[in-house]
């Protein structure tokens, strides 16, 4: 028969185990879940190895809805911090592309869930050098560098 004091000690022991068990189990659960931030961050891993920490990157995405467009921007800033992400006006993409300085870095993010395929056919342009491309089920990304040149002419779009 356990003495009362021993019973209390046993209870305390099991409660302590339960507390640590809860913490460990919960941390493992959180560790094994992924959300949109993680998916985009994984997609942009290669960009981090190319773009220095102190750089600026001009972001274009295929979202048209303001809130969703902003979300991609915020997620991207979070994923690529401390690099500065500059959100460009996707409604005037060509004008915005022209504003990117020579040797400037451009990040194109295509959300596969979005119903618009917005990007100009950038590969055929001589004005940009493709530094990195990655695609998965959620996102397609291209990292480009603008070559030093005279102001660019309009290039064709593939757009629905």
User: What residues line the site for another protein (CB under 8 A)?
Assistant: 5, 8-9, 11-12, 15-16, 18-19, 22-23, 26-27, 29-31, 33-35, 37-38, 53-54, 56, 74, 77-78, 81-86
Euclidean distance between CA atoms 123 and 130, whole angstroms: 7
Of 70, 43, 46, the C-alpha closest to 59 is 70
CB of 58 to another protein, least distance (A): 11
CB of 86 to another protein, least distance (A): 6
Judged by beta carbon, residue 35 or residue 126, the one nearer another protein is 35
| Coil vs helix vs strand at 58 | strand
Judged by beta carbon, residue 1 or residue 30, the one nearer another protein is 30
CB of 53 to another protein, least distance (A): 4
| Coil vs helix vs strand at 7 | helix
Judged by beta carbon, residue 35 or residue 156, the one nearer another protein is 35
Judged by beta carbon, residue 23 or residue 133, the one nearer another protein is 23
Return the structure tokens found at 48.
Answer: 């981090």
CB of 129 to another protein, least distance (A): 24
Euclidean distance between CA atoms 104 and 112, whole angstroms: 25
User: How many CB atoms neighbour CB 9 within 10 A?
Assistant: 12
**Alpha carbon 12 to its chain's center:** 46
Judged by beta carbon, residue 9 or residue 99, the one nearer another protein is 9
CB of 21 to another protein, least distance (A): 9
Helix axes 66-80, 36-43, angle to 10 degrees: 60
Structural contact between residues 115 and 72, judged by C-beta atoms closer than 8 angstroms = no
């Amino acid at each position: 028969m356990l003495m009362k004091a021993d019973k209390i000690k046993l209870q305390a022991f099991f409660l302590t185990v339960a507390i640590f068990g809860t913490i460990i189990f919960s941390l493992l659960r959180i560790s094994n879940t992924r959300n949109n931030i993680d998916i985009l961050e994984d997609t942009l891993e290669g960009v981090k190895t190319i773009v220095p920490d102190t750089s600026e990157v001009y972001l274009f995405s295929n979202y048209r809805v303001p809130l969703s467009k902003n979300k991609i921007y915020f997620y991207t800033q979070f994923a690529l911090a401390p690099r500065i992400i500059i959100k460009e006006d996707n409604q005037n993409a060509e004008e915005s592309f022209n504003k990117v300085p020579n040797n400037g870095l451009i990040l194109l993010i295509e959300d596969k869930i979005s119903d618009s395929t917005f990007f100009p056919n950038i590969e055929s342009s001589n004005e940009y050098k493709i530094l990195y491309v990655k695609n998965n089920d959620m996102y397609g990304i291209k990292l480009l560098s603008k070559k030093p040149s005279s102001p660019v002419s309009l290039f064709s779009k593939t757009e629905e």
